[in-house]
Amino acid sequence: MLFILLFGLFFVAVYYDAFGHLYSEEELKEFKNETASLVLSDNKTIIGKFFSENRTNIEYKELPLHLINALVATEDARYFEHKGIDSRSLFRVFFKTIILNNKSSGGGSTITQQLAKNMYGRKGYGPLSMPVNKTKEIILAYRLENIYGKEDILSLYLNTIPFGENVLGIESAAGRFFNKRTKDLKIEEAAVLIGMLKANTYYNPRLYPNHALVRRNVVLGQMEKYRYLSESVTDSIQKLSLQLDYANLESEGLANYYLVQVKKEVNKILKTVNEKRDTIYDIHKSGLIIETTLNIRLQNYALLAFKSHLGKMQERLQSQYRKGLYRTSLQKLVANKLERLKLTKKADVKQNREMFSWKGFYTDSISIRDSIKHSLTLLHAGFLALNPETGAVKSWIGGIDYRTQPYDQIFAQRQTASVFKPILYATALQMGAWPCQYLSNDKLIISDFENWQPQNYNHTVGGKYSIAASLAKSMNIPTVNLFMKVPFSNLENIWKNLGFSQKLIKKPSTALGATTASLYEMAIAYAGFANGGFKIEPQMIVSIKTSNGKLLYRNKFLKSKDKVLEGMTTPFLNAMLQKAIIEGTGKSMQNIYGVNLPLAGKTGTSQAYADAWFIAYNPKLVIATRVGASLPSIHFSSGSNGAGGALALPLVAKTLQRVQNNSKLKKKFFTAFKELPIEYIDALSCEDFIEDSDFERFFEGIFKNKNANFGKSSKKVERKEKRKKKKSFFKRFFGRD
């Protein structure tokens, strides 16, 4: 009798908040889970989440019946009969577990009581912790049953339950372990997830598949016991092996570098949205639906190209640095790094480390010295594809592995090499240069710059190359000659207007790409070539909605009005860079890889093969990529491996091979370049190369061609020719010798 009196007093004390606040029915009605925001690709595929709690709430109608049956049969067989408290289970636990200390008697908490625990957690009250928390959960369970229906409680429960690995709720768990929506779970998959509720680490199917399999079959047995499954169906399902499709978007997603940028852009948008509304939306808690511009197929195709091509080239580079002088130079670099980090004494101590390779992660017992060697010889790469009209980003790969190499290579400032050249040639075209004007290829020594002597990649000298051929074939000597004729201020202005952040230096090596820039900046510049001369801003967000579909933001993707290049500059440049793909430094796109899509583009190889570039474009798509080790001093020994055409171009080519075979994607991203206007149709109809002896004859002829004077009337041309008869060739076009 005394015991009952004491228990009654204890219950009253808990009920009236003697052990902390007990939530009222009104407060329970206002309960809301923090929900992860979902990030979708342009075809509505989930590519990532932002959360403080990794949870995606779903409604009861999205829960398959066999999942509900598995839950009830395993956790609370009389769920639909009680009012939140199962007195039979409660007395069993009280007498067997508490009085007789029999821990095998099972739990006494109903699903509703477990929900109360999941909603608000448990607190410490010393030796009274268990009775206080259990009593609170009983009272809250009763209140929950008063305000919510059975179906609502089940959906609330399944949205709050933890599954380990920082995963909360059934929808997130279904995505993590089976890479599917809850509504698509099979009976055996639902049984695995319900089985995890007993102990989410011990029964984790990834970590302990044998434990999970045994527990799954127990759940199936419970479903048979309570007649949710027949004996024959249970037997057949229990014989199935455990099949997972594990997908951890947070660490192994296909667009993790992209998601970093998406988050920045969303937060910027939400700042404006929240200023205009009473409700404050949080990217981590508000369960937003964020639709992005990313094309999942193009992204996957590029990732496959990374794996196949960089995997092969990585083996070649590491093989090179295991031999001779290259091995010695690497050892010196490692020694210097160890000394700077003050790790020399510990350099050869081995311990287990997780290592990246294109064949998959592996754990090896390796020293700090060897770990640094491995890191220094890794090839890094960035890949960026965008729509040149709107700036919509269609693919973004910032590196080889986000988990171990989080720095985004798309923003790395590296020597631009020959991908700079189109900017110089665009400046000349803007000033009135003509694709069929000729540039000297004679040996050049520049005394003002310590007798610097540019050399062509093929080491040839002599003769003249047309401007079009000089760019298409990436000839260095003619390019430096062009640089010396173009006013530097004009080049500098176009460089700045195209969006580059680094300062150009007024020296001849600038013509060959001595200046640094990022892949991001280069993609923007080449988009200007593709769209007729407009500077664009890369964009990633299509729309932002609440979880119930309320539109907070929609991107109108207005075309840029910021024009940088005028007149015939971009049509001529596009024709010249198409020539580079068809017969110049990018011809392996067709000859080796069989890519016959309409493309313009440019390769680039920086000094000593430290960085390899390739940028290809079309009126609908720009693709830019760069490959190189973290230090310029680590590089290939020859152009057969390290040149832009060998190291960077294949990433684009292998990606576009798959695009070319996908008719829907091909139509989406590729269209023919516009033909040159009729008056300029023969603008590139000249010999690529002429001998010195032929030059003067050609020189006299070109100025009789009205096309060379941009379609001016013949009388004006004749008068102008008489005035300028004795002026030098470049004096006529640039005002300078």
Residues 523-577 pLDDT 10s: 999 999 999 999 999 999 999 999 889 999 999 999 899 999 999 999 999 999 9
Q: Are strands 516-517 and 167-168 parallel, antiparallel or unpaired?
A: unpaired
| 699 pLDDT tier (thresholds 50, 70, 90) | low
- CA gap 619, 578 in Å, rounded: 12
| 15 pLDDT tier (thresholds 50, 70, 90) | low
Any domain includes 704: yes
Q: What one-character-per-residue DSSP string does 460-499 give?
A: ---SEEEHHHHHHTT-HHHHHHHHHHS-HHHHHHHHHHTT
Any domain includes 325: no
Q: Over 70: is that where the pLDDT of 322 sits?
A: yes
Q: Which residues of 87-106 are buried (b: 16+ CB within 10 A; e: fewer)?
A: eebbebbeebbeeeeeeebe
- Residue found by looking up tokens 């009280």 in the block: 94
441: left (phi over 0), alpha (psi -120 to 50) or beta: alpha
Look at the alpha carbons of 276, 277, 280, 285 in this order and tell me if their dihedral is positive or negative.
negative
- Residue found by looking up tokens 């006013």 in the block: 487
What is the structure's pLDDT at 475?
Answer: 96
- CA gap 615, 599 in Å, rounded: 10
**Amino acid in the structure at residue 573:** L
Any domain includes 450: yes
Q: Over 70: is that where the pLDDT of 361 sits?
A: yes
Q: For 379, which DSSP code?
A: E
| 8 pLDDT tier (thresholds 50, 70, 90) | low
- Residue found by looking up tokens 């060897």 in the block: 370
Residue 655 CA, distance from chain mean position: 15
What is the structure's pLDDT at 636?
Answer: 97
Mean pLDDT of 600-617: 97
Any domain includes 344: no
Residues in the chain: 737
Mean pLDDT of 83-90: 71
Mean pLDDT of 579-586: 96
Nearest Cα to Cα of residue 622 among 501, 497, 494, 534: 534
| 729 pLDDT tier (thresholds 50, 70, 90) | very low
| 634 pLDDT tier (thresholds 50, 70, 90) | very high
| 486 pLDDT tier (thresholds 50, 70, 90) | very high
What is the structure's pLDDT at 713?
Answer: 31
pLDDT tens digits, residue range 108-147?
688 888 887 777 667 677 777 777 777 777 887 778 788 8
| Burial status of residue 163 (CB atoms within 10 A of its CB: 0-12, 13-18, 19 or more) | buried
| Burial status of residue 307 (CB atoms within 10 A of its CB: 0-12, 13-18, 19 or more) | middle
Which helix H or strand E contains 416, and what residues bound it?
A: none
What CATH number corresponds to the domain at position 466? 3.40.710.10
Q: What one-character-per-residue DSSP string does 516-542 give?
A: EE-HHHHHHHHHHHHTTSB----B-EE
Using alpha carbons, list the distances in angstroms from residue 243 to 62, 168, 568, 578, 719.
Answer: 22, 21, 60, 49, 83
What is the structure's pLDDT at 111?
Answer: 87
Any domain includes 295: no
If one counts the domains in the chain, the total is 2
Q: Over 80: is that where the pLDDT of 601 sits?
A: yes
| 20 pLDDT tier (thresholds 50, 70, 90) | low
Q: Over 50: is that where the pLDDT of 467 sits?
A: yes
Q: Over 50: is that where the pLDDT of 723 sits?
A: no
pLDDT tens digits, residue range 366-424?
999 999 999 999 999 999 999 999 999 999 999 999 988 999 999 999 999 999 999 99
Rg (CA), the chain: 34
Any domain includes 355: no
Q: Over 90: is that where the pLDDT of 352 sits?
A: no
| 11 pLDDT tier (thresholds 50, 70, 90) | low
Q: Are strands 516-517 and 541-545 parallel, antiparallel or unpaired?
A: unpaired
Both structure tokens of 7: 């228990």
**Amino acid in the structure at residue 458:** N
Q: Over 50: is that where the pLDDT of 196 sits?
A: yes
Q: Over 60: is that where the pLDDT of 25 sits?
A: yes
**Domain stop point among 219, 242, 265:** 242
Look at the alpha carbons of 493, 495, 499, 504 in this order and tell me if their dihedral is positive or negative.
negative
**Amino acid in the structure at residue 99:** I
pLDDT tens digits, residue range 209-235?
999 999 999 999 999 999 999 999 999
Q: Does pTM surpass 0.85?
A: no
| 717 pLDDT tier (thresholds 50, 70, 90) | very low
Both structure tokens of 278: 């009473």
Q: What average pLDDT is seen over the chain?
A: 87
Any domain includes 19: yes
| 733 pLDDT tier (thresholds 50, 70, 90) | low
Q: Over 80: is that where the pLDDT of 696 sits?
A: no
What CATH number corresponds to the domain at position 105? 1.10.3810.10
What is the structure's pLDDT at 30?
Answer: 67
Q: Which domain holds residue 516?
A: 381-542+552-718
First to last CA, the chain: 114
| 160 pLDDT tier (thresholds 50, 70, 90) | confident
What is the structure's pLDDT at 718?
Answer: 36
| Burial status of residue 374 (CB atoms within 10 A of its CB: 0-12, 13-18, 19 or more) | middle
What is the structure's pLDDT at 93?
Answer: 55
**Domain stop point among 242, 264, 294:** 242
Any domain includes 472: yes
What is the structure's pLDDT at 249?
Answer: 64
- Within 8 A by CB and 6+ apart from 488, the residues are 504, 506
Q: Over 60: is that where the pLDDT of 725 sits?
A: no
pLDDT-wise least confident of 161-175, 518-532, 715-729 = 715-729
Yes or no: say if 665 and 297 are a contact pair by the CB < 8 Å rule.
Answer: yes
pLDDT-wise least confident of 94-98, 523-527, 546-550, 688-692 = 94-98
What is the structure's pLDDT at 1?
Answer: 64
